[in-house]
Amino acid sequence: MYQASEKRYEEMKYTRCGRSGLFLPQVSLGLWHNFGTNTDFANMQAMCHTAFDHGITHFDLANNYGPIPGAAEENFGKILDAGLRAYRDEMVISTKAGYDMWPGPYGDWGSKKYLVASLDQSLKRMGLDYVDIYYHHRPDPGTPLEETVRALDGIVKAGKALYVGISNYNKKQTIEAAAMFKELGTPFIINQRSYNMFNRDIEKDGLKDYAAANGIGIITFSPLAQGLLTDRYLHGIPEDSRVKTDGRFLNESSISEEALKKVSALNELAKERGQTLAQMALSWILRDGDITSVLIGASKPSQILDNIGIIHSTAFTDEERAKIDEILMW
């Protein structure tokens, strides 16, 4: 039976999520990849145990994470049953709904029917009475935002989620949703967005500054640009890489000569900082304190241990910041 390390809180740093009372670890574990039916269960379990043993208390899921959709939640439920459930009150567990999940008109987007039904399914798969954060996974152009907001508010009032969040909402959409949540008194605390050195959309549309000024947390996914911001592709594309085996989120056309030139220069700067490129890329996201937590993905426990080391190296000199910006503009 699993027993958590007694030293699990000695190194990790925790950040208050917006103006809420909830703290998130600076590094959180996302179960988007490598927790489906095509992955070894013992490895999944080892990754979750490694994460928790080193202070990663936040585990992020979604209804459709797999393959197959729902498999990540089901596997996480099994991991909880195998010993981790004893630490439920020390954990922040989040899930989402908003993408295609089941056939027909009620298994997608942002209607009240879909959001309520999906969470009931998610709770059953994980064996939980509630999740800590429930997200709407993407804006729905066909459903009134008020319906989506009221559905999330009702879910909190029903005791099935403690807090609510939104994901993939831009600044304008976030402002509109925040105003509705405030009127209802809903504990809306966080927006989950893609953010990395190559994707700075939350800076360009002002969301990052707006969230920091208005007490809304931001947690970021794809911090390594699906693996491009590592040294993995500097000398060619490995046959066992995600580019070769999947290709949906990172393909060969993304690994252009121009992109590799930037990656190579960033890699040299990382070496000067005493970090790997992946570590520097994660550190850069947390550089100014405006981001609550960075969501990492992993395929083995050693990657988690490597990523956790960034919590001691999130500061950048003015010269380093300027150099990174210069490289990214090439």
pLDDT in tens, 295-314: 999 999 999 999 999 998 99
As beta bridge partners, residue 165 has 135, 190
Q: pTM to 2 decimals? A: 0.94
Residue 8 forms part of a structural domain:
no
Domain count, the chain: 1
As beta bridge partners, residue 296 has 29
Residue 157 forms part of a structural domain:
yes
Residue 137 forms part of a structural domain:
yes
From the list 34, 62, 61, the residue with the least C-alpha distance to 47 is 34
Q: Please provide residue 96's backbone torsions phi and psi, each rounded to the nearest 5 degrees.
A: -145, 165
Residue 140 forms part of a structural domain:
yes
Residue 295 forms part of a structural domain:
yes
Residue 248 forms part of a structural domain:
no
CATH of the domain at 81: 3.20.20.100
pLDDT tens-digit series, residues 168-220 = 999 999 999 999 999 999 999 999 999 999 999 999 999 999 999 999 999 99
Task: Write down the pLDDT at residue 238.
Answer: 53
Task: Write down the pLDDT at residue 231.
Answer: 87
Task: Write down the pLDDT at residue 243.
Answer: 53
Task: Write down the pLDDT at residue 136.
Answer: 99
Task: Write down the pLDDT at residue 239.
Answer: 47
Using 50 as the pLDDT threshold, list the residues of the chain that sit under it: 239, 244-245
Q: Which domain holds residue 67?
A: 14-228+282-315
- Report the interhelical angle of 71-81 vs 112-126 (nearest 10°): 40
Task: Write down the pLDDT at residue 244.
Answer: 43
Residue 243 forms part of a structural domain:
no
Residue 261 forms part of a structural domain:
no
